[in-house]
Amino acid sequence: MAVDAERMTQQSEGRFNARAFPWWLVAIIGFLAIMLALIITNPDYNRAFNFIKGGLGSFSDLLAGDLAAFIGRGLSMTIYVTLVAFAVALLIGLLAGLGRISGNVVIRNVAITYIEFIRGVPTLVLIFTVALVLVPTVSDTLGLANQVISNPTRAIISLAIIYGAFLAEVFRAGIESVPHGQMEAARSLGLNSRQAMRHVILPQAIRNVLPALGNDFIAMLKDSSLVSVLAVRDITQQARLYAGSTFRFRESYLVLTFLYLSMTIALSLILRWYERRLKQDGK
């Protein structure tokens, strides 16, 4: 179906094609536009929006270099948790993915244990377990006071450990997508296996999995809402607080939906554009 639609757009380039036209996007943008209009014109929605976003940003904040205040404390918490947790998850995922295909029995089994363990437990349960059991246990062992590690940090550690397992499988698939001949050619030139992996296999593997990584980033942005259970004041927590204190559930959760959807749709459009460009380059 998708292929058909693409072919039809190519054939009738320049002419309007009702079958290939992205009506779904019109519907979603329509929803976002209505929400935006409500937030601007309706005082109830406006108050909810300002509270959830975490304060009304002004240009003086931006000039003062306080980016968090400018985009709102709640929204900046969501973005901060997502970005940092994803960066750490990339590192964990790369290491676990390499471990997953390692020739060393111990390393390989440690990596598989981690991946299968994480994949077998619900995300919400893992967040509780990591933040309230694993982190205190480790910090006790290291002799740190339990309070030293803040809730947002716990949230980041939880999400990074969870997504590291998913990204490990993405990296493994990427490495396996590079033809075996590439490794043979690299080794034949005298590169050792580490050099071949770093300079020949990984650059191509990562390029192959960039779209998949993008999808996981979007998933992470959405799953960052789960950290509200740790009382981290991201936009979800802000919405819950606002709804709880004002009983304006409709405004709270519609605004929350609006915030997530506008971010994920923007990211997913960028990703589509990038994938299309990648496809054109590849041919």
Rounded to a whole number of angstroms, the minimum distance from the CB of residue 179 to another protein is: 8
Q: Calculate Rg over the CA atoms of the chain.
A: 23
Task: Reduce the DSSP state of residue 149 to 3 states and report it.
Answer: coil
CA distances from 258 to 30, 37, 235, 255 (A): 11, 12, 11, 5
- Considering beta carbons, is residue 161 or 205 the nearer one to another protein? 205
Which of 147, 273, 167 lies closest to 223, judged by CA?
A: 167
Rounded to a whole number of angstroms, the minimum distance from the CB of residue 185 to another protein is: 4
- Count other C-beta atoms under 10 Å from residue 203's C-beta: 12
CA dist 258 and 247 (Å) reads 19
- Considering beta carbons, is residue 14 or 282 the nearer one to another protein? 282
Answer whether 58's CB lies under 8 Å from 48's CB.
no
Residue with tokens 């789960």: 226
- Considering beta carbons, is residue 58 or 195 the nearer one to another protein? 195
- Considering beta carbons, is residue 204 or 257 the nearer one to another protein? 204
Task: Reduce the DSSP state of residue 66 to 3 states and report it.
Answer: coil
DSSP label of 200: I
Rounded to a whole number of angstroms, the minimum distance from the CB of residue 206 to another protein is: 9
- Considering beta carbons, is residue 120 or 282 the nearer one to another protein? 282
What does the binding site for another protein look like in residue numbers (CB under 8 A)? 179, 181-182, 184-192, 195, 199-200, 203-204, 207, 282
Rounded to a whole number of angstroms, the minimum distance from the CB of residue 259 to another protein is: 38
Task: Reduce the DSSP state of residue 144 to 3 states and report it.
Answer: coil
Rounded to a whole number of angstroms, the minimum distance from the CB of residue 204 to another protein is: 5
- Considering beta carbons, is residue 47 or 187 the nearer one to another protein? 187
How many Cα atoms are found within 13 Å in the side-chain-facing hemisphere of 39?
21
Rounded to a whole number of angstroms, the minimum distance from the CB of residue 203 to another protein is: 5
